[in-house]
Amino acid sequence: MKKVSSGFKYLFPSLLLTTATLSNAEELHVYNWSDYIAEDTVAQFEQETGIKVIYDVYDSNEVLEAKLLAGRSGYDLAFPTARPFADRHITAGLYQPLNKDKLSNLDNIDPVILQSLADIDAGNQHLVPYMWGTTGIGYNVKKVREILGDEMPLDTWRLVFDPKIVAKLEGCGVSLMDDATEVFIAASAYRGQDTADFSKAAIEAAANTVQAVRPYIRYFHSSQYINDLANGDLCVAHGYSGDVLQARDRASEAGNGVEVAYAVPSEGAVVWTDVMVIPKDAPNPDAAHRFINYLMQPEVIAPITNYVAYANANAAATDLVDEEIRMDPGIYPPAQTREKLIVIKTPAERQLRDMNRSWTRVKTGQ
């Protein structure tokens, strides 16, 4: 669940490559999140294999999903989030099973993460985990402390759901993600309710929680907060771990005195895994297997983690990751934090629609 920033820098080289090489070269069409790979990953693969990579990017699971559902997307490899997206896609039969004979590096993958995917992908036949992260709270340390005092713990959903606290933070700016599933699960966690309950009553209760703080929320957006946190225009944001950390790094690079921190709320936060999949109708599944196998090399995936600030699923690569990243509790959370993480249960289609419609109603104030 990696969001936005600049897709353009990938667009340009891939356009150049398209025109520069002969059309009869073997091609691999990759569709990945923007800013979700290191700068030289693709070029190195091309050099090693002679396969020409056409690399496109997206900024939401929904866009990828719409292309896959429509069929003949033309892509050989995609990177959806495992739950609820890849789960649904397996049910809908959108992926082809992997040929594990072609994935000699599969042993490098963390068995715990593979195991965590086994309930949606029996025998790990379709999915190879790529990166993972959490959805929590990013905040402006100085300003939030000024308003709430030094006593108040900040690793709590109260920062975005407790009307009394959010009212105090209003002037300084609070944002929620524009994502029904993420917000409703966080709201259920805040109220100590079952986060796997997507019944009408549970959805309504979550909607009421959001409704109560809505007047104090500056905006609902899933990527805008990166810039605003970094500039000091926003105090508290509900967002993806890597994105908040990106905001933190941008602020410290800019030297504007803004200190951003990321917290995994103690009530529990969503942990998500993005996976690699080969669509059923992929034109060149063979090259896709080679690319997956290439990405499973520790010396390839470690620099990607260093670059994108998300933890990879490759156990053999952990030692190769920069110490600064490896020791960052926001990227590789300590064991006690991991215990509190929530694995999203895939809602039924009907429930998902109820949830999204309820979300549209809440945020538009209908």
Binding residues for spermidine, as ranges, are 179-182
If one asks whether residue 100 binds another protein (CB under 8 A), the answer comes out as no
Decide the pairing of beta strands 77-78 and 128-140. Answer: unpaired
Dist. CA 312–CA 192, nearest whole Å: 30
The residue within the footprint of another protein, chosen from 56, 65, 110, 182 (CB under 8 A), is 65
Q: Determine how many CB atoms are found less than 10 A away from the CB of residue 25.
A: 10
Tell me how far, at minimum, the Cβ of 322 lies from another protein, in Å. Answer: 33
Dist. CA 235–CA 218, nearest whole Å: 10
If one asks whether residue 93 binds another protein (CB under 8 A), the answer comes out as yes
Sole window of 140-148, 261-269, 299-307, 355-363 interacting with another protein (rule: CB under 8 A): 355-363
If one asks whether residue 356 binds another protein (CB under 8 A), the answer comes out as yes
In the region spanning residues 148 to 187, those forming contacts with another protein, defined by CB under 8 A, are 178, 180
Tokens of 184: 């409703």
The residue within the footprint of another protein, chosen from 44, 47, 91, 208 (CB under 8 A), is 91
If one asks whether residue 121 binds another protein (CB under 8 A), the answer comes out as no
The residue within the footprint of another protein, chosen from 2, 126, 143, 221 (CB under 8 A), is 221
Dist. CA 99–CA 3, nearest whole Å: 30
Q: What is the CA radius of gyration of the chain?
A: 21
Sole window of 50-58, 59-67, 264-272, 321-329 interacting with another protein (rule: CB under 8 A): 59-67
The residue within the footprint of another protein, chosen from 220, 262, 294, 332 (CB under 8 A), is 220
Q: Whose structure tokens read 């109260």?
A: 158
Between 239 and 268, name the residue whose CB sits nearer to another protein: 239
Tell me how far, at minimum, the Cβ of 179 lies from another protein, in Å. Answer: 9
Dist. CA 313–CA 128, nearest whole Å: 9
Tell me how far, at minimum, the Cβ of 109 lies from another protein, in Å. Answer: 28
Dist. CA 1–CA 172, nearest whole Å: 27
Q: Of the candidates 125, 171, 123, which has an alpha carbon nearest to the alpha carbon of residue 146?
A: 171
Sole window of 2-10, 32-40, 199-207, 213-221 interacting with another protein (rule: CB under 8 A): 213-221
Between 217 and 245, name the residue whose CB sits nearer to another protein: 217
If one asks whether residue 119 binds another protein (CB under 8 A), the answer comes out as no
Q: Of the candidates 216, 236, 214, which has an alpha carbon nearest to the alpha carbon of residue 143?
A: 236
If one asks whether residue 211 binds another protein (CB under 8 A), the answer comes out as no
Sole window of 19-27, 61-69, 252-260, 307-315 interacting with another protein (rule: CB under 8 A): 61-69
Side by side, the strands of the sheet bearing 77-78 are 52-58, 27-33, 77-78
Q: Determine how many CB atoms are found less than 10 A away from the CB of residue 87.
A: 21
Tell me how far, at minimum, the Cβ of 71 lies from another protein, in Å. Answer: 5
Tell me how far, at minimum, the Cβ of 336 lies from another protein, in Å. Answer: 34
Dist. CA 3–CA 340, nearest whole Å: 24
The residue within the footprint of another protein, chosen from 63, 118, 167, 327 (CB under 8 A), is 63
Contact 197, 347 (CB under 8 A): no
- Residue 154, classified by CB atoms within 10 Å of its CB into exposed (0-12), middle (13-18) or buried (19+), is middle
| Centroid of chain to Cα 265 | 17
Q: Of the candidates 365, 138, 76, which has an alpha carbon nearest to the alpha carbon of residue 269?
A: 138
If one asks whether residue 363 binds another protein (CB under 8 A), the answer comes out as yes
Tokens of 29: 């069409």
Between 206 and 308, name the residue whose CB sits nearer to another protein: 206
Tell me how far, at minimum, the Cβ of 357 lies from another protein, in Å. Answer: 6
If one asks whether residue 366 binds another protein (CB under 8 A), the answer comes out as yes
SS3 content of the chain, % helix, strand, coil (to 5): 50, 15, 35
- Torsion angle (degrees, nearest 10) of CA 45, 310, 134, 337: 130
Between 52 and 363, name the residue whose CB sits nearer to another protein: 363
If one asks whether residue 310 binds another protein (CB under 8 A), the answer comes out as no
Residue ranges that bind another protein, judged by CB under 8 A: 60, 62-63, 65-66, 68-71, 88, 91-94, 178, 180, 219-221, 231, 233, 280, 349, 352-353, 356-357, 360-361, 363-366
